[in-house]
Structure 1
Amino acid sequence: MPSAATIAPDPASSAAPAGSSDSATTRLRIASVNVNGVRAAYRKGMAEWLADRDVDILALQEVRASTEDLEGLLGPEWSILHDAATAKGRAGVALASRSTAAIHRVELGATEFDSAGRWLEADYEVNGKLITVVSTYVHSGEVDTPKQVEKFKFLDAMLERLPALAAHSDRAVVLGDLNVGHRRFDIKNWRGNVKRAGFLPEERAYFDRIVGAEDAPDYNAGAGLGWVDVGRRWAGEVDGPFTWWSWRGQAFDNDTGWRIDYQLATPALAASVTEYAVDRAAAYDRRWSDHSPVVVDYAL
């Protein structure tokens, strides 16, 4: 079993807890993880984690496999949506669920913009409510290269799409590897990374527009486009909890990580969170990806 870094729910939340005796409440557990190649992740232990976690909707990034591979690994009990990258063996996002999605979409940005393998939307009906879930994988970028240009194009398209998503469903969540640490709390060694992709001021400004700047009076509570960074709301003003660590050196053992995996929710959905956890592996040699799953329970 992973070591789950669980953040206790806000006592002021009106959402019913998971397992509530209220028969009108359904717990929806959504997990997201960059698997860094799903076939390799399964060889290293992902199947055991998934079997123990009772997940309802699973968002994957960097699948790097075919739909047939996913179906063979996950099994027939999962309904699978998969958007593969244009370049074979690269990127790829997926959504797997215990129930079938009502509809799904993969388009993002202008028609000439290639978002393949990086943005997948699906609508689900849970307890009579429409829930929209997006699995996304933002480019890692590289300063002063075409890779960074593509990253900014993707973030621009994402900013344009978010208001339409919120208008489509007041219970929507965008989750995945967003490859940006928004605040100093999100990177252990932030001072050494302010000129590197992933913590550039220009990149962090996108998150200011999504959830608000950290000095905004309503940061993460209506600022910007009004979305809520669920991880930061529930963790509070603390370092991490980190979700990615380099394979190199002692980064994992020293918890020298980055929090770049998010669940960004609309206010109505964020208000229903009852538990947030980062399933950090118990030890370096128990890792099956360089990212850890982010698992959130919503009470609907």
Structure 2
Amino acid sequence: MRVITFNTQGIEQATDNGFFQWMVEQDADVVCLQDLRAKDYQLDDKRYHPEGYEAYFFDAFEDGYSGVAIYTRVMPKAIMTGLGFEQCDFHGRFIQADFDNVSVASFSVPSGLKSAEAQQAKEEYLQLLKGHFTKTLRKRREFIFCGPLLIAHKPQDLSNWYVNQKVSGFLPQEREWVEDLFGDMGYVDAFRQVNRVDQQHTWWPDYNKARELNEGARLDYQITTANLRKTIKSASIYRGQVFSAHAPLIIDYDL
């Protein structure tokens, strides 16, 4: 089972940059997209619906906000949208597809870079999201959560980490949140389960040569329940083409 997650930073822009042509060539079973910046009704055009995939969208109530999607080759048993709290549901930040043996979710987290208030809102959101992860542990099925946490977990996941310790995305309390998720809670960072190489980034800032110099951060994740740990076979970040400031994260599971 091949799962891809990708933060589009605008699905129209990513499509113009050739994302769907590339996606079809990857033979993925499930593709999770985030930050669509478009309403469901704006995505009727066939260019957003590649042949062989069913598409499911959860958009924000207001224009210009996130929006998430799941593309899948197999018809899911059920689709769930939202997590029951305003910060998620009003901004279109969670959609889940249930299959026979596993559920796959596409999620996003708000950025804290703009201001102290934005960072506070991000941290409040993370606590509510952790509540969902806690509830998930009580369910009798396996899960793969795909999306941008907008947090670099360890120094190996961020360029110039030493000077970024007071910047949103690498704050001590954010890293502690991630450490708890992959520590005491028992969730698995699927990428790091099979790829331990330093400086494997999924995002680069918008300035000249950032990608070329690999001055970026690993902000995008596939997070699995513990029982899926041994099913993770390979993981890679696609850098051959630029679809947005983020890069697609590709993971193969033996499912």
Normalized against structure 2, the TM-score is what?
0.92
Pick one of 184, 187, 190 that aligns with 1:230.
Answer: 190
8 Å CA contact 2:193, 2:232 repeated in 1 = no
- Distance in 1 (CA, whole Å) between partners of 2:21 and 2:84 is 37
**Aligned partner letter, 1:61:** Q
Pick one of 146, 160, 179 that aligns with 1:175.
Answer: 146
**Aligned partner letter, 2:173:** E
8 Å CA contact 1:71, 1:80 repeated in 2 = no
Aligned residue for 1:45?
18
Q: Displacement of 1:69 after TM fit?
A: 4.1
8 Å CA contact 2:24, 2:50 repeated in 1 = no
1:241 aligns with 2:216: no
8 Å CA contact 2:88, 2:94 repeated in 1 = no
Aligned residue for 1:141?
112
Q: Displacement of 1:251 after TM fit?
A: 0.9
1:265 aligns with 2:224: yes
Instruction: Tell me how large the CA RMSD over aligned residues is.
Output: 1.7
1:204/1:87 Cα in 2 relative to 1: closer, same or farther (>3 Å)?
same
8 Å CA contact 2:193, 2:229 repeated in 1 = no
1:106 aligns with 2:76: no
1:207/1:109 Cα in 2 relative to 1: closer, same or farther (>3 Å)?
farther
Moved more, 225-234 or 166-175: 166-175
**Aligned partner letter, 2:220:** D
State how many pairs are aligned.
252
1:298/1:198 Cα in 2 relative to 1: closer, same or farther (>3 Å)?
same
SS in 2 for 1:241: coil
1:32 aligns with 2:8: no
SS in 2 for 1:101: coil
Aligned residue for 1:296?
251
Moved more, 85-94 or 75-84: 75-84
User: Identity of aligned pairs, percent?
Assistant: 29
Choose between structure 1 and 2 for higher RCO, CA contacts under 8 A separated by at least 6 residues: 1
**Aligned partner letter, 1:243:** T
Unaligned runs of 5+ in 1: 1-27, 213-223
Written as runs of structure 1 = structure 2, the 5 A alignment for 1:6-25 is none
- Distance in 1 (CA, whole Å) between partners of 2:52 and 2:42 is 15
Normalized against structure 1, the TM-score is what?
0.79
8 Å CA contact 1:105, 1:122 repeated in 2 = yes
Q: Displacement of 1:167 after TM fit?
A: 2.6
8 Å CA contact 1:108, 1:157 repeated in 2 = no
Written as runs of structure 1 = structure 2, the 5 A alignment for 1:127-206 is 129=101, 131-142=102-113, 145-206=116-177
Rg larger for: 1
